[in-house]
Amino acid sequence: MTLTLTENATNVVKTIVEQNPGTETGGLRIDGADRGPTDFALSLVPEPLEADTVVEEGGARVFLEPTAAQVLDDKVLDAQVEQDGSVRFAIGVQEA
């Protein structure tokens, strides 16, 4: 298994990438290195690093740093847009 994205997360990631010039082939990178087991850093990057796992779903691209890929192997990424326009990402367990 690998990380999956909800429809909301797919749409949010695609929108974020589309709104940032120079990232047309990029995506959202999740980095878990040097962090706690539930603490991740998110960044918009123009391309994955060589060791990253690439998850593509519905046109959205998410790049997982090796530690994040291992921890998020059986998880699902969701996103919610708040009233002020900010985005809140959440990790959940995939349902069988």
Write the class of the CATH domain 4-93.
mainly beta
Domain boundaries, the chain: 4-93
Read off the pLDDT of residues 40-60 as tens digits, 9 standing for 90 and up.
999 999 999 999 999 999 999
pTM for the predicted model, two decimal places? 0.90
Mean pLDDT computed over every residue of the chain: 90
pLDDT band at residue 96 under the 50/70/90 scheme: low
Question: How many other C-beta atoms are found inside a 10 Å radius of the C-beta of residue 1?
Answer: 8
Q: What percent of the chain has pLDDT over 70?
A: 94
